[in-house]
Amino acid sequence: MSNHVRGFTLIELLVVIAIIGLLSSIVLASLSSARTRANDTQRVAAVKQIQNALEIYYLNNGQYPGAGQGISSSFVIAPHSGVACGYNNDWCTFETAMASYISKIPRDTAGSFSGGGRYVYKRNASRPDLYALGVSMDGTNSAAANDGGTHQTLYEVGPLVEYCKSKYSGNNALWYNWDGGNLCNGGN
């Protein structure tokens, strides 16, 4: 009778550890992708809530909130680069204008707009009947690609989006340009 106990060799242990590491990295990668999709889905839902509130605002006021109503620019970007209320405090002014219509407007700051803002709202003073609202997405998102807008990673809604697409094409149809005087890149 032999008292010889056989254990695992060093190579067998290294192979098992390598397999576990490979499986762990695959699981973590898929979790990260699921987290990105979940965050983008929340952003789309937030935009739809804001859109509903904007429509109620319009029914009550005959125009959408914008320049000339305490909001200093036609292009309002959510807080970015440590600026709590966005450029010229416009996001906070937008929140105040919408307070009776929606309980909370998002303040997600890690986006792709100027300085990092994620949400953007535009309503030009010359066309108070048109607005656009968008949110930059983290990943390639079918909601952004199929929203009828002009940008593949920006979920965009509102009558201004359709207006710009019907008047111009290509980059000229973009509503989210930085020129406050124009509704679209191509002009008014």
Task: Confirm whether 39 is domain-assigned.
Answer: no
pLDDT digits (tens, 9 = 90+) for 131-168: 999 888 876 667 777 777 777 778 899 999 999 999 99
Task: Confirm whether 86 is domain-assigned.
Answer: yes
Please state the separation of Cα 114 from the chain's center in Å. Answer: 13
| Sheet-wide strand order for 75-77 | 75-77, 119-122, 132-136, 154-157
Work out how many domains the chain is built from and give that number.
1
Task: Confirm whether 117 is domain-assigned.
Answer: yes
Task: Confirm whether 37 is domain-assigned.
Answer: no
* DSSP letter, residue 111: S
Q: Phi/psi at 67 (nearest 5 deg)?
A: -50, 140
> What pLDDT sits at residue 179?
62
Task: Confirm whether 179 is domain-assigned.
Answer: no
How many Å apart are CA 116 and CA 101, to the nearest integer? 26
CB 102 within 8 A of CB 50: yes
Give the domain extent around 157. 44-173
CB 137 within 8 A of CB 114: no
Residue with tokens 């889905």: 41
Task: Confirm whether 167 is domain-assigned.
Answer: yes
Residue 170 backbone zone (phi > 0: left; psi -120 to 50: alpha; other: beta): left
pLDDT digits (tens, 9 = 90+) for 40-85: 888 888 899 999 999 999 999 999 998 777 777 777 777 665 677 7
Task: Confirm whether 9 is domain-assigned.
Answer: no
How many Å apart are CA 10 and CA 167, to the nearest integer? 70
Q: Which two tokens stand for residue 19?
A: 């397999």
pLDDT digits (tens, 9 = 90+) for 13-34: 899 999 999 998 888 877 777 8
Q: Give which of 42, 74, 53, 44 is closest to 134, Cα–Cα.
A: 44
Task: Confirm whether 65 is domain-assigned.
Answer: yes
In terms of pTM, does the model score above 0.85?
Answer: no
Average pLDDT over residues 105-112: 67
Residue with tokens 């990295």: 25
* DSSP letter, residue 184: B
How many Å apart are CA 16 and CA 104, to the nearest integer? 50
